[in-house]
Structure 1
Amino acid sequence: MGTLEKLSRTFTPRKYKRIRKLSQTLEAERRSLSILRRPIKTLYYFNLMLWKLIISGVRNTYHRKAVRRSVLLCLAIYAGLKATDRADVVESSLSFISWWVGLGILSSIGLGTGMHSGLLFLWPHVFRVVTTVEKCGHTDFESYSDVWGTRGDHAFSCKLDVTPKGEVGALGLWKKVGLECFLWGLGTAIGEIPPYALCYSARTAGKKNEDFEEAFSSEGGGDKGALSGYMGSWLDWMLRLVEKHGLAAVVLLSAWPNAAFDMCGMACGHFLMPFWTFFVGLVIGKACIKVHLQCAVFLALFRESSRSAILSYLRRSLAVQVPLLGGERNLGDFLSEAIVKSVENIRDGTAGGASSSSRGSLVEDFREGIKSVPNFLAFLKGAMPSPVSLAMMMIVAIFIISCIEQLARQYKAEEDEKTVESAAKED
């Protein structure tokens, strides 16, 4: 221990032996911190270290003059608007932004187990917009109040003084829902920060404590199965990709529905990628590319004309009989029926939303969304996770456990250093 080496010259042989024994005992206790062997104590030290990092981050942010001045300026502007009864626009905008960004955070913050807020709220909202556009023949109607389980009195209502312009194109529909999709994608990007921050802190602690390299070492004793070896090599490939290409790797890995993206965030934290490089890559990949590609797919499925073309194409091009489907049904008919049923479930869950002017309750919307999810999830993801998904979840769990153990050991190391210093001052 560094403290022991610094003070060793002032010790008598007897005192040095006593302090050295104490140091070795504390080091053995620190190395014994493990989720499997001592879970309660490990989680205790991890929570202490986590709170220390949070408080340190808040304190450092507070001491920056630019942050304090920006906050004070925003509060002063809001107070002025409130005093003149002009704060309604600001409050409604903040409500709108916090709703969609918050849903995006809930969707991705659970390390692969987050809430399916897109299927529950975003895509039903997009469906309501599409059906209203098809009914009204234009996009000049109010839809931004469809937040927090309530809708405005005139939400999704056709304006009588606006002349229908015929069929609205895909670009017009995207403009109507693009902001909601971007904010939701921004929330999913924010939800990926905790794995990055956890590994970044553990890697920083690893610079001070060599135990970190042991926790993340890919070399180990014992025989490894074929699947474990394959997943380990895949993880090594992702680590090298992030280390070599940085921002470009983050954008490419986040620009498509990647169930293993948590690994990318952990790799970025492991290699101490600057926060803004990581976050900008996330925003470009998730909020500017992926969510809008998903939106294009759902718009094509929700529009009557494009959905009919897609179903006709599937029936013609996939007219192949599959024995597992039973009877004489072919693959094209099966997929077409699944799409139609999923769209009908979403329509049933949002019935009356396109033209109703009454306020809905959050509980009712949530229950309606739940009804539309099972078949849609079964069609898109399957009822059970695949072996590859399970293997990825295991790797993520191992990665997270290693970070927790390292942060716990780092806090214990700082505590042990203080203990040794106190013992050295005693006679």
Structure 2
Amino acid sequence: MSTKKEKKTQESKPKKQEVEVKEEKDEDSISILTHPFTTLYYFVLVLVSYVKIGLKFILKHIIVISVVLAVIITPNFIQGPHLDYYRHAEKVGYFMAYWIILGVASSIGLGTGLHTFVLYLGPRIANITIRAYQCNALPEFVPSKWDQTYHFNHCPENVERPVQFLDILLSVQFEAFLWGLGTALGELPPYFIAKAAAASKKKIEELEDVEAHKNDKDLMSVAKRLIYNNLQKYAWITVLLCASIPNPLFDLAGISCGHFGVPFLTFFSAVAIGKSIIKVHIQMIFVIFIFSQGHVEHALQFIENLLPFLKGKLSDMLEKQKNILANGAVSEGEKPLIGQLWDYFIMLMIGYFLVSIINSLAQGYYEDLKNEKKQKEENKKKKDN
């Protein structure tokens, strides 16, 4: 009898373990779609923890923060000739913050990335390029370049010389540099997380994955090993090259630099130069070239010849868009179909980005809780032994 009972218990144990593993896997894949309430619960806990950290920081540096805010805000309430300069500086400050934040959003992405170059900076460069070639001169921003709700003034009458490619490049260089700097700042979290993990001797999943697949011959594994190995010998130049081209594996470079203790200035200087100077200029040159005079018309003609049912429609849309750029803001009813579709696309991208933030933060918080629980269990076992 005893042997039968033992067999039954032994047979039941694996089944119980399988259930536990399955449940754990289900919990590991929590998301808004699969576990909406659980995900939102953990997301709220993360927000509460961030609020607590923020309040602690403010209370710790309350005097410095109060002085800085007073210096920034007080001139706004004092009448005098300085107000014009203050208003201009305020606009420039908002302009800089706007493009830097968009760059950070594009880079940090929390696992997905909101591609703000495609959504914001690229269309801005394209609009300026189309307008510049239409006027044969750089367009004037009304009320100014620093306002987010700007439109272009009428074409200037007396043009000294035809607009050059370099003129357009220089006219959008400042916002492009700020956006690139934002993308560089967005690469810092993986570096600092890996550095903290190395100091506490924690394992990093991405680096373990590289070691586990060191014999694989597929392109992705080879690329990962190439970055991983070269960062140990030539950190600065490797980071610079990785940052200077569109590179989905750049997070691995940041994590490896943090793990191997590459100095912060070495890492960030290479990232900043690569992303805010080299990479962003490649992107700018590409957009300006594509939207230069003649290139758009040739592209549309090719598409219309390929798809006859679009004959004339795309050209009309482009002409309408040029008129909108020339005459400034228009009512919602006059907005072309392509503009409306673009707005919907932006809304979908932003919605997807927000959902990915909620999922990533909730999953990360749950993972931390699970690791803490495992650590407590291991410590308890050690004490019992």
Using the size of structure 2 for normalisation, the TM-score is: 0.63
| 2:252 alignment counterpart | 263
For the pair 1:81 / 2:75, whether they are aligned, the reply is yes
How has the CA–CA distance of structure 1 residues 94 and 334 changed in structure 2, closer, same or farther, with 3 Å as cutoff? same
Is 1:358 equivalent to 2:321 in the alignment? no
Matched position secondary structure for 1:168: coil
User: How many matched pairs?
Assistant: 328
* SS at 2:104 equivalent: helix
Structure 2 CA distance for partners of 1:57 and 1:195, relative to 1, 3 Å:
farther
Shift of 1:170: 1.4
2:221 is matched with which residue? Answer: 232
Identity of aligned residues (%): 24
User: Which residue is 2:152 aligned to?
Assistant: 156
Asked whether the 8 Å contact 2:317–2:338 carries over to 1, the reply is no
Q: What's the secondary structure of 1:109's corresponding residue?
A: helix
Separation in 1, partners of 2:336, 2:220: 40
Could you tell me whether the CA contact under 8 Å between 1:349 and 1:368 is conserved in 2? Answer: no
Q: Does the 8 A contact of 1:181 with 1:287 survive in 2?
A: yes
* Contact kept? 1:120, 1:373, Cα under 8 Å: no
Cα deviation for residue 131 of structure 1 reads: 2.6
1:51-130 mapped onto 2 (5 Å cutoff): 69=64, 71=65, 74-84=68-78, 86=83, 87-110=86-109, 113-130=112-129
Task: Give the deviation of 1:266 after TM superposition.
Answer: 2.2
Contact 1:243/1:271, CA 8 A, preserved across alignment: yes
Deviation at 1:286, TM superposition (A): 0.8
User: Where in structure 2 are the equivalents of 1:179-328 lying within 5 Å?
Assistant: 179-205=174-200, 207=201, 209=202, 216=208, 227=218, 231-304=220-293, 307=295
Which residue pairs with 2:138 in the alignment? Answer: 139
Give, in whole Å, the separation in 2 of the partners of 1:99 and 1:118.
Answer: 13
Counterpart of 2:327 in 1: which secondary structure? coil
Please tell me whether the aligned partners of residues 45 and 411 of structure 1 are also in contact (alpha carbons under 8 angstroms). no
Letter in 1 for 2:165: A
Change in Cα spacing, 1:135 to 1:351, as seen in structure 2 (3 Å) is closer
Shift of 1:280: 2.3
Q: 1:265 to 1:414 in 2, by over 3 A?
A: same
Is the CA contact (8 Å cut-off) linking 1:106 and 1:188 kept in structure 2?
A: yes
Following superposition, the deviation at residue 244 of structure 1 comes to 1.6
Instruction: Check conservation: 1:192, 1:262, Cα contact below 8 A.
Output: yes
Q: CA deviation at 1:125?
A: 1.2
**Contact in 2 for aligned 1:112/1:259 (Cα 8 Å):** no
**Contact preservation (8 Å) 2:102, 2:182:** yes
For residues 365 and 249 of structure 1, do their structure 2 counterparts lie closer, same or farther at Cα, with a shift above 3 Å needed? farther
Higher RCO, 1 or 2 (CA under 8 Å, sep at least 6)?
1
2:131–2:139 contact (8 Å) kept in structure 1: no
Q: Secondary structure at the match of 1:272?
A: coil
Q: Could you state the TM-score of these two structures normalised by the residue count of structure 1?
A: 0.58
Contact 2:42 2:365 (8 Å CA) reproduced: no
Residues 104 and 183, structure 1, Cα contact 8 Å, conserved in 2: yes
From the two aligned structures, give the one with the greater helix fraction: 2
Distance 1:90 1:48, change over 3 A: same
The 3-state SS of whatever aligns with 2:196 is helix
Q: Name the SS of the counterpart of 1:235 in structure 2.
A: helix
Gaps of 5+ in 1: 1-31, 315-332, 375-399
Cα distance in 1 between the residues matched to 2:76 and 2:228? 50
**C-alpha contact (below 8 Å) 1:120/1:369 kept by paired residues:** no
SS in 2 for 1:110: helix
Deviation (angstroms), 1:252 = 0.9
Report the counterpart of residue 339 of structure 2 in structure 1: 368
Quick check: 2:153–2:328 contact (8 Å CA) kept in 1? Answer: yes
Separation of aligned partners in 1, 2:374 and 2:43: 12
- Equivalent residues of 1:186, 1:287 under 8 A apart: yes
In structure 2, the gaps of 5 or more residues are: 1-20, 31-38, 346-360
